Amino acid sequence: MNLKQWMAFILLAVIWGSSYLWIKIAVGEMGPFTLVAFRLLFGAIFLLAIVLIRRPEFPKQKSIWASMAFVGLVNSAIPFVLISWGEIYIDSAMASILIGAVPLFTLFIAHWTLKDDRMTIAKILGLIIGFVGIIVLMSESLTGGSSQNSLWGQLAMLAAAASYAIGITFTRRRLSDVSHSVQALVSVIFADTFIWVATIGLESPIQLPEAPIVWWAVLILGFLGTGLAYRLFFYLIQSAGATKASMVTYVAPVVGVILGVAFLNEALTWQLILGTILVVGAVLVVNRSVSKKKFETKIRNTVKEIFMDKINIAEKFSQFDTHWDPKLLGELNGQHVKIVKLKGEFVWHQHEHEDELFLVVKGTLLVKFRDKDVELNEGEMLIIPKGVEHLPIAKDEVHLLMFEPVGTVNTGNVTTDERMVVELEQI
């Protein structure tokens, strides 16, 4: 991940790690459905303000809106209620660690649903270590050393983790072309609608809290734990990938345990310590698999250079589904050979020091310049000189082969666009 992605990752871990503290405070005076209803309401207000400022384009296809409604259900409504209900019976530290199982579920689901996020031996090892960690955390309840309600609270956390994993992989697969701000706002609005209906039906009459600290907890959960957090989360899913984005729930337990023990006087048991080490340690194994993959890629590319192995471009295109996310095929004479799938409208930009070569492999690409438009069909190429402002538009999906100097960023002089890619993935 690049610096921007790491900053988003760390901030999100701190926000979500502290959320379990605020949830524990709030469920003392509010029902779980009421808490989630207000949390999502405040989150929607925050996200609406972002959308009004940034004014991103909303999708027109009904299928995309249906997909965002589904994401709202599995990525907000269901897990939020399960977490809030579960924390009635278990400590906030335990809750934060069990939610750390999200990457374990994500690794498994992503392997079967995403072409660019397959299982590896190291990832399987990480799954095993993380699973053992969860068993250690739940051992007291499983052996009868805790109440039956505590066991149900822990199972609720694992169910919430599985629901999050479904939402993460589904978002990566179906909503890669939708603005992160739009994804977050619309899914939260749908989720809040579902929850208010359930709240009226299940927790009437609605009991509002009296303690000011509870309202502060709900506001923080709404504005930061939902609004800002989801804006960061959807950004990470699309820019860093489903598995890497889900890893934030491995870091969040560290924050959750520290806050729970420090401010809520929760017990620091040996199961909590060992389980935390195992669950957090699993992320190190999985992250090591990324480094191993890069190492294997370098070795494989070296062998290809020696034996001049051919590259099947069509096969390479089949390995990813994202749009405006260039992949690196190779390098020659200081030039990167890239492929990218395009769909929709990009951003007006220019490359001050680099010329670009576009070769359309599939589809029709419209390149707008300030003084004319150029349409490229399959097999046609265009060289764009440095310093020339242009806007690529693909009405339908386009497969594009590009030659650009090493270090060229896809958004050129525009550094605020969400689709900017600094670190290229080699395939």
Flag the least confident range among 169-178, 283-292, 316-325: 283-292
Mean pLDDT of 52-74: 90
pLDDT at residue 342, rounded to an integer: 93
Question: pLDDT of 139-182, one tens digit each?
Answer: 665 555 555 568 888 899 999 999 988 998 888 778 877 887 88
Looking at the chain, the whole-number percentage of residues with pLDDT higher than 90 is: 31
**Is the pLDDT assigned to residue 416 strictly greater than 90?**
no
Residue 272: count other Cβ atoms within 10 Å of its Cβ. Answer: 22
pLDDT at 143: 56
Higher pLDDT, residue 333 or 302: 333
Cβ atoms of 325 and 419 within 8 Å: the answer is yes
Name beta bridge partners: 405.
335
Q: How many CB atoms lie within 10 A of CB 223?
A: 18
**pLDDT tens readout for residues 206-263:** 888 889 999 999 999 999 988 998 888 878 876 776 667 777 776 676 677 777 777 7
Domain 313-426 sits in CATH at 2.60.120.10
Q: Are 252 and 13 in contact (CB under 8 A)?
A: yes
Give the model's confidence band at 296: pLDDT under 50 very low, under 70 low, under 90 confident, else very high: low
Per-chain mean pLDDT for the chain: 82
Q: What is the pLDDT of residue 354?
A: 86
| Dist. CA 311–CA 392, nearest whole Å | 26
Question: Position of tokens 């935390």?
Answer: 276
Q: What is the pLDDT of residue 334?
A: 77
Residue 327 has pLDDT above 70, yes or no: yes
Q: Is the pLDDT of residue 313 over 80?
A: yes
pLDDT bin (cut points 50, 70, 90) of residue 306 is very low
* Stated pTM of the model: 0.61
| Contacting residues for 43 by C-beta, under 8 A, at least 6 apart | 188, 192, 221, 222, 223, 225, 226, 227, 230
pLDDT higher at 66 or 13: 66
In terms of pLDDT, which residue wins out, 144 or 317? Answer: 317
Of the chain, the percentage scoring pLDDT greater than 70 comes to 86
Looking at residue 115, what is its pLDDT? 61
Please return the burial class of 134, using the count of CB atoms within 10 Å of its CB with bins 0-12, 13-18 and 19+: buried
| Residues 79-124: tens digit of each pLDDT | 989 998 988 888 777 787 788 778 778 878 877 776 656 667 777 7
C-alpha–C-alpha distance, residues 111 and 124, integer Å: 11
- 27 compared with 289, residue with greater pLDDT: 27
Residue 305 reports pLDDT greater than 70: no
Q: What pLDDT is attached to residue 144?
A: 54
Lowest-pLDDT choice from 59-68, 358-367, 374-383, 406-415: 406-415
Residue spans of the domains in the chain: they are: 3-294, 313-426
* 299 has a pLDDT exceeding 50: no
Distance CA 5, CA 232 (A): 9
Say yes or no to pLDDT of 18 above 50. yes
Pairing of strands 373-376, 335-345: unpaired
